[in-house]
Amino acid sequence: MKVFRSFLRFFFRHFYTTLAWSYDLVARIVSVGQWNDWVRSVIDPFPAEPMLEIAQGPGHLLLEISRRGGNVVGVDASHQMCHMASHRLKQASHDSKVVQAQAQALPFPECTFATLLSTFPTEFILDSESLLEARRTLKPEGQYRVVPMAEIRGSGFLDRMAAWLFRVTGQYADLPSSWTDPISEAGFVVRRNDVLLERSRVIRLVASRAEQMEGQVA
C-alpha cells in the first residue's frame, strides 16, 4: 500500500501538467461517472457575480457557468490546463476568460470578485499566501466556495469498489480541521454546507470574510 501511495503522489505531481490530457478520463473513472456532478455542486445555488474559479483545470465548470450566462474568469498555474480550458470555451463559442497565474499572486485588483470557486484543489489552496490573495480579491460581502472532497455512497458494485479505494488510499476521510483552520486563520469565517446527491455526498465549504460576519452580528 505504501508503494501505491508513493505512485499516487508521483502521479498527482504530473496530473496537472504533462499528464493533463488524462484528467477527464481519470476523473470519470475514480468518481464512477460522478465527477462533473460533484464539480457543478459548487454553483448550487448559482453564485453572485463576477466569479473567479481558482485552478479551473480543463474548464468544465467555466463552460457550465458561461452557458448559464454567468460572468466568470478562470486562473490556473498549469499552461496545459489553461490551454485545454481556453480551447473548450472557444469550441463552444464562448469568450476565453482564462489566465495563467499562481494562486499566491492573483493578477486582479482588490475586491474584484463576488464569488471565488475551487473544486478538488491540491494543497496549494491552504497555503497562507493563496488564502491571503483570495481574501484580497474577494469583495467584502463575497463568498469563497471550496469543494475539497466527495464521498461515494452508492450501493452498486463499482460504487462500493471506488469507495473502498478512496478509503484505503487516504483520498477520503471525514474532513479534518487541517482543512478549515488555515482558512479561518486567513480571516474567513468557514461553515460546512454539504451537498447530497443520489450516489454521493459532496463536501463543500463556504467561507465569508470575517468582517462581513461581524457586521451582521453587530
pTM of the model: 0.84
Distance in angstroms (rounded) separating the CA atoms of residues 196 and 113: 27
Instruction: Assess whether pLDDT exceeds 70 at residue 10.
Output: no
Average pLDDT, the chain: 85
State mean pLDDT over 184-202: 93
Q: What is the DSSP letter of 146?
A: E
| Cα gap 134→199, rounded to integer Å | 32
* 52 confidence band (pLDDT: 50, 70, 90): very high
d(CA 204, CA 139): 20
Residue 62 to residue 56: CA distance in whole angstroms: 7
Summarize the confidence of residues 44-56 as an average pLDDT: 97
Q: Is the Cβ–Cβ distance between 132 and 107 less than 8 Å? A: no
Cα end-to-end distance, the chain, whole Å:
52
Query: Rounded to whole angstroms, how far apart are CA atoms 188 and 98?
Result: 26
How is residue 70 written as a grid cell?
A: 454567468
For the four alpha carbons of 61, 67, 70 and 72, in that order, the dihedral sign comes to positive
d(CA 146, CA 61): 13
CA dist list (Å): 18 to 10, 125, 172: 12, 21, 25
Q: What is the pLDDT of residues 68-80, one digit of tens each?
A: 999 999 999 999 9
- Identify the CA nearest to 42 among candidates 207, 209, 204: 204
- Select 2-217's CATH number: 3.30.70.270, 3.40.50.150, 3.40.50.300, 1.10.10.10: 3.40.50.150
pLDDT exceeds 70 at position 61: yes
pLDDT computed for residue 7 by the predictor: 46
pLDDT in tens, 76-101: 999 999 999 999 999 999 987 999 99
Q: Are strands 195-196 and 200-209 parallel, antiparallel or unpaired?
A: antiparallel
DSSP state, residue 77: S
Q: How confident is the model at residue 23 (pLDDT cuts 50, 70, 90)?
A: confident
The answer, yes or no, to whether residue 197 has pLDDT greater than 50, is yes
pLDDT band with cut points at 50, 70 and 90 for residue 218: very low
* Mean pLDDT (whole number) for 115-130: 93
For residues 22-47, average pLDDT: 85
Cβ contacts of 96 within 8 Å, gap of 6 or more? 85, 86, 89, 90
Higher pLDDT, 213 or 58: 58
E strands of the chain, at which residues? 51-54, 72-76, 98-100, 113-119, 138-152, 188-192, 195-196, 200-209
- Please tell me the distance from the alpha carbon of residue 72 to that of residue 159, in angstroms, as a whole number: 33
